[in-house]
Homo-oligomer: A and B are copies of this chain.
Amino acid sequence: MHKIAIIGLGQIGASIGLGLRSKIKGIEITGHDIEPTTAGKARKIGAVDKISYSLPKSLEGASIVIICVPVEAVKQIFEEIATSLEEGTIVTDTSSTKIQVMQWAEEILPKTVDFIGGHPMAGVETPGIDGAEEGLFEGATYGIFPPVDVRPESIDAIVSLISILKAKPLFIDPVEHDSLVAGVSHLPIALSINLINATTQSPSWREMSRLAAGSFRDVSRLASGSVDMHHSIFSTNRDSILRWLDSFDIHLKEFRKAVEEGGDDLRDLLETAYQSRSDWLSGKVESDNSMDNVPTASENMLGMLGGDKLAQLSRKFDKDSKDKPLGR
């Protein structure tokens, strides 16, 4: 029986547990959360096999430890688990910015374990464990950040874990990652938050709120994300985010001018946006498929961890899930 520990049982941690437990057998998942009620709920919905109220105890016998907490909390978790990690353990995380986490791992974790950063690009509006879904990561890009000195087998194991969740692994440099997600992930969060603050603090919000419909709901959705997570993001990726806020400001000013003048410039900006988003949705932009060379069978992780019998089981699971595609 292979043991996996999940630290932090919010939307991401619980979804990983649900995804793994539904797709492979021969593993036992122990969960830990700072909130006992969250941990209890995780066991109840089947995201973990058992829970441990002690953080060090939850690691016992685990070959893989998955840390699913906001960036800022990762450092403390590293400090608390550093002395309890068994030799050869693979440690990964799921937090939204990576430069800081990779530095902390280098400084705090023992050299006897392999830390490989991770960032699944998935999430739903309902925060915390109530938003957990077995298929949350299906089709999602999952950033993977192996330092140069980790064992190749550890990388294989994490890639396999990602593949089991039906996500698409993407190897990317932490610095590049943080700079890019500042634009496509953190800027949208900032826009949602400021849309909410600009409108709800208006004297006419009470009247306005009755006219707020689907468009307002969608564009403001990210303001309902966890405050801790957002604070972590804006603190640990500050410089890139500031650059993107400034870039957005330039575009908004140009747009304001076009609206004021009402000429062809306005139509050009609207058409450019319409076309650019269509291109993105249709995948026109992304012609470079560097993910294709990544192994996708879930047997890698299990094969590495425990030999043929489990790999066969996993193969059977793969086949079953192909015959009967999942709902999402």
Chain A residues near B (Cβ < 8 Å): 121-124, 140-141, 143, 170, 172, 176-177, 179-181, 183-185, 187-202, 204-216, 218-225, 227, 230-231, 234-235, 238, 241-242, 244-252, 255-256, 259-260, 262, 266-267, 269-274, 276-281, 285-286, 288
**CB <8 Å contact, A223 and B180:** no
Least CB distance, A233 to chain B, in whole angstroms = 10
A264: min CB distance to chain B, Å: 10
Contact check, A231 vs B266: say whether CB atoms are below 8 A apart. Answer: yes
16 contacts between A and B (CB under 8 A): A181-B211, A188-B195, A188-B218, A191-B219, A193-B255, A200-B276, A201-B276, A206-B285, A206-B288, A218-B219, A218-B221, A224-B278, A234-B262, A234-B270, A242-B260, A245-B259
> Smallest Cβ distance from A146 to chain B, in angstroms?
18
| Additional 15 contacts, C-beta under 8 A, given A188-B218, A197-B273, A238-B260 | A143-B211, A170-B211, A177-B211, A180-B207, A184-B212, A184-B215, A185-B213, A193-B270, A200-B280, A200-B285, A218-B222, A231-B267, A238-B259, A248-B252, A249-B252
Q: Which of B201, B204, B213, B255 contacts A194 (CB 8 A)?
A: B255
Is B274 in contact with A227, judged by CB distance below 8 angstroms? yes
Question: Who on chain B is nearest to A202 by CB?
Answer: B183
Tell me the minimal C-beta distance from A294 to chain B in angstroms.
Answer: 13
Q: With the chains together, A7 CA to B259 CA distance in Å?
A: 28
Residues in B neighbouring A269, C-beta threshold 8 A? 193, 197
Q: Is the CB of B208 within 8 A of A277?
A: no
Residue of B nearest to A236 (CB): B262
Question: How near does chain B come to A210, taking the closest CB pair, in angstroms?
Answer: 6
Q: Known: A218-B222, A224-B278, A274-B224. Is A195-B187 also a contact (CB below 8 A)?
A: yes
- Chain B contacts of A185 at CB under 8 A? 211-213, 215-216
Could you say which residues of chain B place their CB within 8 Å of the CB of A184?
A: 199, 208-209, 211-213, 215-216
Contact of A267 among B198, B227, B278 (CB under 8 A): B227
Is B244 a contact partner of A196 (Cβ separation < 8 A)?
Answer: no
Knowing A194-B248, A215-B123, A242-B259, the reply to whether A210 touches B274 (Cβ < 8 A) is no
A196–B196 alpha-carbon span in the complex (Å): 19
